[in-house]
Amino acid sequence: MKKIIQNLLVFIVCVLPLVKGECQHDSDEEIKRFQEEFSQQYFNSILPNHESQNSLRKLQNSQEIQNIRVTLDFSYLDTLQLGITDKQKAYIQKISKIAAQFVTKLIKVKPLMGNNIYGSSLRCIDIAVPSNDQKTGVENSDLNLYIIYFNSGSSALANAASCFINPAYQRPTFGRVSFNIGYLTNTNPNSFKFQLDLQVLLHEIIHVLGFSSDSMQYWIDPDTQKPYKLSGISKINTYQTVRGFKTLILTSKNVTDIARKHYNCSQLIGMQIENQGGSGSAGSHWERTVIMNEIMTAQQVSIGATLSQFTIALLKDTGFWADVNVNIAGQILWGKNQGCDFYNQACQSSNKANYLEFVSSSQVEGCSLTNDGYGIGINDGFSDNCYYIQPYSNMLCTDLSNQNNSQTDLKLESYSTNSRCFMSTLTKPGMLGSFSSKSRCHESQCSSDFSTITISIRQLNITIECNQPGQSKAINYNNKKIGDLECPKNFNYFCSNNQQCINNCSSNGLCINKVCHCAEGFTGADCSISCLSFYENGNCVNNCSSGNYANPDKTCRSTCPDGYFGDTKTNLCQQCDFSCKQCNSSPSQSQSLQKNCTKCSLYKYLYQGNCLDSCPAGYYGDDLSQECKKCSQGCLSCENSEKCIQCDSNAGVILNQGICGSLNCDQFSNCNQCSSKTCLDCKSGFYLLNLNCVTPEQCGDGYYANKNTKLCEKCGDGCAKCSSKDLCNECAVGYRLSGGICTNCTYPCQKCDLINKSACQTCESGYFLYQNSTCVDKCPKNTYLDSVSQICYACQKGCVDCQNQLKCNQCEEISGYYLFDNQQCVLKGDCFSPCLVCQDPKNPKLCSKCQDGYALQDNLCVQQCKQGYYSQSVNGINTCLKCSDTCLQCSLQAEKCLSCSNEKVLYNDKCLTQCPKDYIKTNNNICKKAYDDTVINSSKNLSFYGIETAFIFGFLIIIIAFV
């Protein structure tokens, strides 16, 4: 029998438990002791004892800044003996090198003079620092990262922290990154998963760079050029109660400026820091509720994270770094320009219906805000009890592996880096109505001016064009309807929000803001071409030809990307000053203030070749052109071309309603203030109409006298006489009065289509909208009344009487539907995905066989077996089998243990009562060589600190919790 996914039922059956994956950043007791010890040593000894500090800082002032040099020490991958494989070593080295290479493009410093020396007697958190690094130091290094690993059954990829602050340069110069090889069971992941791993690692390294509550005491106060210390952190930290939670507000300058501009709220005193989770999550990440998909929130959704200007601003505010590359920042649309109410209230606001970021509950299904996939509303434990759409893991439009889903072709879907989520019911011809889900992943492309969106349905070789936002299109194929598709409501938002790279950089690079940053030895727009140098016209070349420039992805092109300019001497794309989005040359060395910018990055304005945070006196920042433009004549300071703040009194003009005008207005009747050509303000009792001052009666029909603006303003449509724009007293011919509004719609329509007056949009009191066009006094059969919107919505498929879309009272038994769980209608014989074959034709949840990628356990299909079980094929059915009683976890066979139950120790995949001779038991019950002093107690040190608690939810949700 044809298998049908009932997506509305997936909400109940297929959602795995939402485990709250709190970060453990700064929460491990031993790490706390390390931080306390280092802090005391640094401020009491290391910093004061640097007698040459002042002279060194003077030398720094004369140094030219350059890209940071990041060095990686992989030696511990060989010395630690925790069961790492060669493939895992290679994978760790690969993603570490790509991430480090990216950091060199992100940060500029005044380079260390001489070698990078570890100047503390303490260990680097949980490892013994090589004596050579303490004495001689690391060559050509500004930041040295020790790469180690641990072995845990959790879904954590990595954790990281800084472990030494150089007292002369007053910035982190050493750190430690620890990978979980228990998580790295797949060292050849698809390109989508590879990007997620890289994003987690980059998140961790940013903690090393200073985004951490423990690091703030070392941040440099711009007023004193000295560390804040614990006693001075209150200068940039304050607390407010936000949405019922005590919330840390970071008030440092750059962060506050970005927050005010992003949310369009000048009253903000800073940016919210995470207020939920344990001490590892709260205090060291952005507040997830107001900036959901930023890379430095405490828990990452599976659609990928964005390194935004918020994190760039924070890194600048640390005072550690000479410059941070704002051109690398991606765009965050979550909460953008939503105002103070969104920032303060979010989903608790009375205006929440206008905030598309949130949904009302877990029962809502649809596309995510960024259109990366579709799923249901979730409250992830970090969103202050707000619900938002979290895509199912197998319905992420940009994950190419989802193309193999069994229903992809049936629902005419496409999964690729060019695919986005649409409200759509398109279905293979002959199957219309087979799927209750009203969302689909379709391949799409926006025109350059965002005026048209073209959707490609490759299964049928057809295209659909959207030219009008919000338009609903009925789609036919061979003269038969195959479904409906709704065009996005905001083309600009939809088209500008796609941050995906081509082929996710082919697992050979990091995708940031649509640009692939390729690993050494790879090139091309998607990092798929193996070249040691550059790539041009199908060949690997040592240098680009004249007129072409080597781009950051090492491909020769005639132009350079944002943040770079074409150097005709070297045929290379060279970096602009970090403040420039575009430039015509590098910053002038002889004129330090001249950056040679031609276009600025977000929230900056171009003025005489420089990109400024604010424009000089007599100019205003034009947000459209991002240029400083001169205020109008006679205006000394202005907000824009039409609103002056301060006029030039020496020029004989004064300020009135944002305009500089004259007091001598004898040429205008009843005029109080004017310019040379028009009256600006009428005398008391008069109102401005068509440049003349008139009495209220003279405003005329269709107008009213607005006492606040002192203008004659137009009444609403169809209104002949009104008291205000929203309160009509008498309607024009052809209109009728309804609740203070004039309407010419066919009764009982209150608002209707401009052409078809019987096509209702809203209804008169006592009537309800049905099928988006008709007003009825009672919802018909197969529909229910939504009390909030006053709209009759269709029940789920197969239901004839329902309370809402998820609660059915009676099913169409004649069509083969039966009522399941007293709320859902299911066609007899159908199973709930990912169940392939059901045990009982009237119980879609009890499985006897699962889809590929799932295993059968307790008659349910799971993507990962419970603890104490392992997956193995039995009679062609992938089944969860029990491990040996002594194993807590096992792999491939019952006796091959990964971890042991209490009172047992792990040795060579076996669980024993005690370790063999010459072996000792570590804190995680693993037997190790007694003489291996570099790893004694390492399990305790590594088990908790900074662990990214990443929970991957099989069919529905992948959530990675960050440190």
Is the distance from CB of 477 to CB of 429 less than 8 angstroms? yes
The average pLDDT across 88-101 equals 94
pLDDT score recorded for residue 154: 64
Phi, psi of 328 (to 5 degrees): -75, -20
pLDDT tens-digit series, residues 862-893: 877 888 888 888 888 889 998 888 888 887 78
406 and 515 part of one domain: no
pLDDT score recorded for residue 497: 74
Per-residue pLDDT band at 149 (split at 50, 70, 90): very high
261 and 349 part of one domain: yes
User: What angle do the packed helices 309-317 and 253-263 form, to 10 degrees?
Assistant: 160
242 and 194 part of one domain: no
H or E element, residue 642: none
The average pLDDT across 229-251 equals 94
469 and 567 part of one domain: no
343 and 453 part of one domain: no
487 and 519 part of one domain: no
CB atoms closer than 10 angstroms to residue 541: 15
Looking at the structure of the chain, the number of domains it has is 7
671 and 815 part of one domain: no
pLDDT score recorded for residue 54: 52
Which of these three, 391, 423, 456, is where a domain ends? 391
Average pLDDT, rounded, for the chain: 84
Whether 55 is covered by a domain: the verdict is no
pLDDT score recorded for residue 27: 47
Residue 386 DSSP one-character state = -
Per-residue pLDDT band at 10 (split at 50, 70, 90): very low
Whether 645 is covered by a domain: the verdict is no
Percentage of the chain exceeding pLDDT 70: 89
128 and 191 part of one domain: yes
Is the distance from CB of 784 to CB of 805 less than 8 angstroms? yes
pLDDT score recorded for residue 15: 31
Whether 918 is covered by a domain: the verdict is yes
H or E element, residue 941: helix 938-944
Helices (runs of H) and strands (runs of E) counted in the chain: 13, 76
817 and 895 part of one domain: no
CB atoms closer than 10 angstroms to residue 467: 12
What would the two tokens of residue 673 be? 């203030």
491 and 506 part of one domain: no
Q: Which of 48-52, 390-394, 640-644, 892-896 has the lowest mean pLDDT?
A: 48-52
Q: Is the pLDDT of residue 676 over 80?
A: no
Please state the separation of Cα 554 from the chain's center in Å.
Answer: 28
Domain harbouring 162, CATH code: 3.10.170.20
pLDDT score recorded for residue 269: 96
The average pLDDT across 729-733 equals 87
3-class DSSP string for 71-122: EEECCHHHHCCCCCCHHHHHHHHHHHHHHHHHHHHHEEECCCCCCECCCCCC
Task: Find the domain containing 283 and state its range.
Answer: 226-391
The average pLDDT across 349-363 equals 89
3-class DSSP string for 838-894: EEECCEEEEEEEECCCCEEECCEEECCCCCCEEEEEECCEEEEEECCCCEEEECCCC
Which of these three, 444, 471, 496, is where a domain ends? 496
Domain harbouring 469, CATH code: 2.30.34.10
552 and 694 part of one domain: no
Q: Is the pLDDT of residue 304 over 90?
A: no
Q: Is the pLDDT of residue 6 over 80?
A: no
Q: Tell which wins on pLDDT, 691 or 870.
A: 870
Domain harbouring 695, CATH code: 2.10.220
Most confident of 97-111, 644-658, 787-801: 97-111
pLDDT score recorded for residue 961: 35
pLDDT score recorded for residue 56: 47
Whether 877 is covered by a domain: the verdict is yes
Whether 886 is covered by a domain: the verdict is yes
Per-residue pLDDT band at 714 (split at 50, 70, 90): very high
Whether 653 is covered by a domain: the verdict is no
Q: Is the pLDDT of residue 752 over 70?
A: yes
pLDDT score recorded for residue 175: 95
pLDDT tens-digit series, residues 29-59: 556 778 889 999 999 988 888 744 454 444 4
Is the distance from CB of 900 to CB of 906 less than 8 angstroms? yes
pLDDT tens-digit series, residues 654-667: 887 788 877 677 77
Which of these three, 391, 412, 438, is where a domain ends? 391
Q: Is the pLDDT of residue 744 over 90?
A: no
357 and 488 part of one domain: no
User: What angle do the packed helices 191-208 and 86-106 form, to 10 degrees?
Assistant: 60
Pick the closest to residue 103 from 332, 307, 318 (CA basis). 307
Q: Which of 210-224, 340-354, 446-460, 779-793 has the lowest mean pLDDT?
A: 779-793
Please, which residues have CB within 8 angstroms of residue 126's CB and are 6 or more apart in sequence? 30, 148, 176, 178, 937, 938, 941, 942, 945
pLDDT score recorded for residue 791: 86
Q: Is the pLDDT of residue 137 over 70?
A: yes
What whole-number distance in Å separates Cα of residue 198 and Cα of residue 505? 11
pLDDT score recorded for residue 49: 80
Whether 470 is covered by a domain: the verdict is yes
Whether 774 is covered by a domain: the verdict is no
What count of residues does the chain have?
963
Task: Find the DSSP H helices in 136-279.
Answer: 191-208, 229-232, 253-263
